[in-house]
Structure 1
Amino acid sequence: MKPIIITDSNCDLNGDYLTDNKIAVIPIRFYLKGDKMPLIPSYNYLIEKDPNDLTEYMTYSEFYDEIRGDGIATTSQISPYDFKRYFNIYASKGYPIIYIGFSSGLSNTLDNAILARQEIMDEDKEADITIIDTKSATSGQGLLVYYAAEMLKGGSTKNEVINWIEENSLKVNVWFTVDDLEQLKRGGRISQTTANLGTLLNVKPVLRIDKFGKLVPTQRVRGRKRALIELFEQLKANIVNSKEQIIFINHGDCIEDAEYLKSLITDKIEVKDVIINYTGPVIGTHTGAGILSVAFLGTAE
């Protein structure tokens, strides 16, 4: 039986792509002002849906409009119970499962997936479930899911897909900038003093995800445009085999900036394609609107 790819909603891939490629997505819930919010449409894609599912949805733009105002957002991990429930939809039918998950350096979600896998394996010795820690998030996690799906479409085996991800996950470069320092302060990422000073001086941080899957600030630049140019400069300096590359850009409701970064790339570097997607609430909760990230295969740290 053909393997099934399962990921979580932090992959931030386009809903149509998920549907067309039969990629199952387990939703990471988010809350505004303490209330559980409706899911973003691509957050709850399952190959086999409950016909009685009455889930309501909100759009990405509606989410970012909320947190641009006074909407304080939080997220919660996927529980072992929910992982087990979703995994069993496919494991019980004999599907080999490849779960491609959110970085263990940013969340304990992956630990819960491992617990669920062990429970299923204890009950069913024939279950075939592989858990992969991407050490990445948003555009980087989505890029690995994309490559895995394309490999399966091309006839690769489960082991070939797993081996490729394990060999290349640390080559995934994820660089990003944020526009809303206040949201970083709310999430405890920076102090109130740093947020106030940064806002006053129009300073924008540039960050990356390191080999441990953690967020690392690399520098601060003056102005939004300079921050976008710095993302391009990091791509130019670190990308390998650019002509064979699919570049992922994810944005927090700032499509013009995403298109500008895309034009910087395509005007100066020959690449196979640049794909733009939204950044969802999992990361957007902690960064605010205006987050922009770029992911590509490059030099490993």
Structure 2
Amino acid sequence: MSYKIIVDSCGELTKEMKGSECFETASLEIDVDDYHIIDDETFDQADFLKRVAASPTSPKSSCPSPERYMEGYRCEADHVYAVTLSAELSGSYNSAILGKNLYHEEYGDKDIYVFNSRSASIGETLIAMKIAECEEQGMEFAQVVETVEAYISGQHTYFVLETLDTLRKNGRLKGVKAVVATALNIKPVMGATPEGTILQLGQARGVKKALAKMTDEIVKDLKNSKEKILAISHCNCRERAEYVREILMEKAEFKDSLILDTAGISSMYAADGGVIVVV
């Protein structure tokens, strides 16, 4: 059976995924003051970070429309999947569900399933890769859905950012009570709850110590590492991503590892220097 996987643009695609007809990106959009950006292959991270640094206001994002998702579902593939960033952080999941309902009303029955990643960025990448793996193994549609939902339940997301300003100003830190003393260069170590909301796991003085503390949190939670891919995304700081990978590879054995630079939406929230780890 043929399949198609639509990933909203908070999820980074690897070079191989971009070259495959099985994967498609549903672009979110970003506004930095009056400048409008579509988060697609034209996204220029360096220009974006420069504009954000010069702007007195926080950038804003908007998710793909239900109609955009509906058109994505309208294809020759027998099985269609969408992977969105956490429904607790964005309207992308609800938009994808509405698009599915619109498709069924307009065109009738089709095997379509929308995965709430309960994560973001490279977490979505791993989920899309898992869907493709299941399809390539010849699983039935229902079995793919069951297997991937179980995979999502066992996935863990962690991150260390230079600043939480964009997350805070856009209301993505609801329930996070800890106050970070930025004047003392205190950097929080953050993670995601099983429901896909953000929580603080700890903090340290300086980014390097915070990254090391994050690796401690990862190892503490890690189970069956030999069966898992260590996935790291970074915003304009490859050396930090490599540093985190090196520490984790010394402490555990993984099936594989992957490092990607953040696309537009992930760059917006991670900000210059942010590192995200999903395993």
- Give the structure-1-normalised TM-score: 0.83
Deviation at 1:272, TM superposition (A): 1.9
**Contact 2:180 2:187 (C-alpha < 8 Å) held by counterparts:** no
Identity %: 24
Q: What is the rounded CA distance, in whole Å, between the counterparts of 2:161 and 2:102 in structure 1?
A: 39
**Contact 2:43 2:263 (C-alpha < 8 Å) held by counterparts:** no
Distance 1:258 1:116, change over 3 A: same
Q: What is the rounded CA distance, in whole Å, between the counterparts of 1:81 and 1:218 in structure 2?
A: 38
- Aligned partner of 2:63: which letter? Q
Distance 1:181 1:106, change over 3 A: closer
Residue 12 (structure 2) pairs with residue 8 (structure 1): no
Q: What is the rounded CA distance, in whole Å, between the counterparts of 1:223 and 1:34 in structure 2?
A: 34
Deviation at 1:273, TM superposition (A): 1.7
State the secondary structure of the residue aligned to 2:46.
helix
> 2:151 matched to which residue of 1?
168
Of 131, 142, 145, 2:125 maps to 142
Residue 203 (structure 2) pairs with residue 220 (structure 1): yes
Deviation string, structure 1 residues 109-130 (Cα, Å, up to 9, x no partner): 2112111111211223332211
Q: What is the rounded CA distance, in whole Å, between the counterparts of 2:86 and 2:257 in structure 1?
A: 23
Deviation at 1:62, TM superposition (A): 3.0
State the secondary structure of the residue aligned to 1:220.
strand
**Contact 1:201 1:222 (C-alpha < 8 Å) held by counterparts:** yes
Residue 248 (structure 2) pairs with residue 268 (structure 1): no
Residue 78 (structure 2) pairs with residue 95 (structure 1): yes
Of 50, 60, 79, 1:74 maps to 60
**Contact 2:89 2:172 (C-alpha < 8 Å) held by counterparts:** no
Q: What is the rounded CA distance, in whole Å, between the counterparts of 1:286 and 1:183 in structure 2?
A: 6
Deviation at 1:258, TM superposition (A): 0.3
Distance 1:64 1:146, change over 3 A: farther
Q: What is the rounded CA distance, in whole Å, between the counterparts of 1:27 and 1:238 in structure 2?
A: 32
Deviation string, structure 1 residues 118-145 (Cα, Å, up to 9, x no partner): 1211223332211221211112222111
**Contact 2:12 2:121 (C-alpha < 8 Å) held by counterparts:** yes
State the secondary structure of the residue aligned to 2:159.
strand
> 2:29 matched to which residue of 1?
29
Deviation at 1:58, TM superposition (A): 3.1
> 2:238 matched to which residue of 1?
255
Deviation string, structure 1 residues 211-250 (Cα, Å, up to 9, x no partner): 1111112222111111111121112111111122211001
